[in-house]
Structure formats: C-alpha cells, structure tokens
Amino acid sequence: MAEVEPKQKKASGRQCCICNQRRAVLKRPKTLEQICRECFYAVFEDEIHRVIVDNQLFKPGERIAIGASGGKDSTVLAYVLSELNRRHKYGLDLFLLSVDEGITGYRDDSLETVKRNEIQYGLPLKVVSYKDLYGWTMDEIVKMIGLKNNCTFCGVFRRQALDRGAALLKVDKLVTGHNADDIAETVLLNILRGDIARLSRCTSITTGEDGPIPRCKPFKYTYEKEIVMYAYFKRLDYFSTECIYSPNAYRGFAREFIKDLERIRPRAILDIIKSGEDFRISTSTKMPEQGTCERCGYISSQKWCKACVLLEGLNRGLPKLGIGRSRGLNGHKKDIEQINQMNNIQSKPCGSLDF
C-alpha cells in the first residue's frame, strides 16, 4: 500500500522585507517593497522627517499654519507633523487654517471633519471664508459663471484667502499637503500652457520666500497612494468626497495621464519632478516683476492682482472679464470695451494650478 505523503503546510505569506519578522501586508507604490504595517509607518514618517531636515523647512520657535481642508492630504499632514514635532522636538507652534469657499454639501461637511481634527490633534483652528473676504460664495459664483471656469475663481481666491488667514494667525510659514502626484501634474500643466514663470518655481519645496509668508510642501516626494494607505491603516478621520464643481477642471486630464504613467512605471512621478527641477530658464527670457496690487496691497506682477480683477468682473455683472474672454457676452459693444480695459490691468491668469 502506497504511503500517503503528509500535507504540506499552507504558505503563511511573504515576510516584511525590512524587518524580516512580521508578515507583509502591503506593497509600497513608490518602491514596490512588500512590508508590514509597522515598518510602513516608520519609513513613511522617516522620509517626511528627512525632507524637513534636509531642506531646513523649519526653525525652532516658529509658528506654522497647516492648510487644512479635511481631505486625506491635509489630515495626514496635520497628524504626521504634530507627531514629528513632538518626537523630534522641532519646537514649533502648529495651527490649522481652513478656507470656507461656500460650497453647500461639500465644504460645510469637510469643515466638520477639520473641527474634529482640531480636538483630536489638539491644534487651534482658524477658518476664513470667501463670503467675508470677497462678498461672494462659490455657490453664488458658479450660479453666475457656470461650471466651465469656476476653478479659476476658486483657485485664485483660495490662495489669497490662505495668505490672509495666515497673516491673521501671525505665523512664520504656511505648509500645504501638496504631494508628489500634485507637483508632477503641475509640471505637465505648466509645460502644456507654456507658463515659464510658474514652471521655474513649481517644483520648489518652499515658495514665496520673498513674500510675507513662505509656503512649504513637506509631502513633495510622498506619493498620493501612500498617503491614502497611511490614513487608512491609521484610521484617521478625513473627508473623502470630491468637490462637486471640480470634475470639469483642466487639472483632471493631467491627473489621469499621471495615473496611467504610474501604472506602467511607478517611478515616473519622481522622474517628472526631477525633470522640472532640472529645467533652466534662459537668461534672455523676460520674467514678470513682482509688485503689489494698487487696490488691495496683495502681491501682484500687474497693477491689480488676479483676485481683484476677478472680483471686479463679478461685481460688475461681467464675470468673464477676469478670464480674458472677449467674445460671447451677448455681443454688447460696451461689454467688449470693458473687457479690453480690464485686460490692460489684469495679471496673467493662474487659475487653480499655482502653488
């Protein structure tokens, strides 16, 4: 009678390639390493710490505002920065800064998440609103302008609102949750629209150093997928719904292209950022000179800043003035004359693509 072979033991799964002790539970999108949850936390946090230290983003005693939207990026940034500040004794005073654009069913819900984060992380929260700053909500703007160009208004107003909120908090720097995917998208977008000025600075980890409040991006080399994984495994409280007005945004096309590249070659995201860093602008290229807006005093390369131009168009009942449109406004001669007058003072369109 043939001898029955003993059943082989069922494979227990791959071991973590870092500690070689615990079972791997995920594959890192950036490196494709199979690692355990504890090692993932460690390498994720250590990479961000190294970016902060190597680039000297902060100095002890500085007041730092964290741009908080309630989404995954800003929530993970607030959590990790507060942890690293405590663990490595950065000596920073951290604050949460949120902008209420006035989008019913989206921003009102996400702000509730930020208010919970305020309690969870013990960080003071400051909220500034479009309505208070500009007299308009995004719902009101979309009702007038439609869905085609609304992201231009929101991006310009949000950037200025963050700066004004940071000034109210009297902080030394503002940090945002822009990740590696965001920066790679911006490099491509600036190439597509031939924006030399922004292409020359969009990969900088710190911008606005010559302005009132510099901005830092500690997640510059951090993949969006890893941020999502970190938030999921840590069970962080964040808001995951997409803005109801953003599906038509131009950036979405670049985002899909980046995702396709990442599926083929995960390192493509870092390669695009590296390419952006290595671009050199010809010395003969005329760059815009920075000044201040004659109307509100905000940073501008023209007589009026972009926010004031857009706001003027809204208040006149001609919202397309600020977008540089010269046709399609009912064919009124007076409208065309006002557009031409506005184009003489407006700054270069920046939309929601500028960091």
Name the nearest CA neighbour of 74 among 136, 158, 147: 158
122 is in an annotated binding site: no
Cα(96)–Cα(175) distance, integer angstroms: 10
Q: What does the block give as tokens for 128?
A: 């500034």
Cβ 203 vs Cβ 183: under 8 Å: yes
CB atoms within 10 A of CB 176: 23
Where would I find the H helices in 193-235?
A: 196-199, 224-234
Q: Return the exposure string of 276-286: e unless at least 16 CB atoms fall within 10 Å of the residue's CB, then b.
A: beeeeeeeeee
73 is in an annotated binding site: yes
Cα(159)–Cα(154) distance, integer angstroms: 8
Q: What does the block give as tokens for 126?
A: 């400051």
3-state secondary structure of 263: helix
Cβ 268 vs Cβ 262: under 8 Å: yes
69 is in an annotated binding site: yes
Cα(100)–Cα(113) distance, integer angstroms: 13
Cα(94)–Cα(118) distance, integer angstroms: 11
Q: What does the block give as tokens for 288?
A: 């815009």
67 is in an annotated binding site: yes
53 is in an annotated binding site: no
Which CA distances in Å does 45 have to 34, 35, 90, 244?
A: 17, 15, 14, 32
177 is in an annotated binding site: yes
**Binding-site residue positions:** 67-69, 73, 99, 177, 182
**Binding-site residue positions for ATP:** 67-69, 73, 99, 177, 182
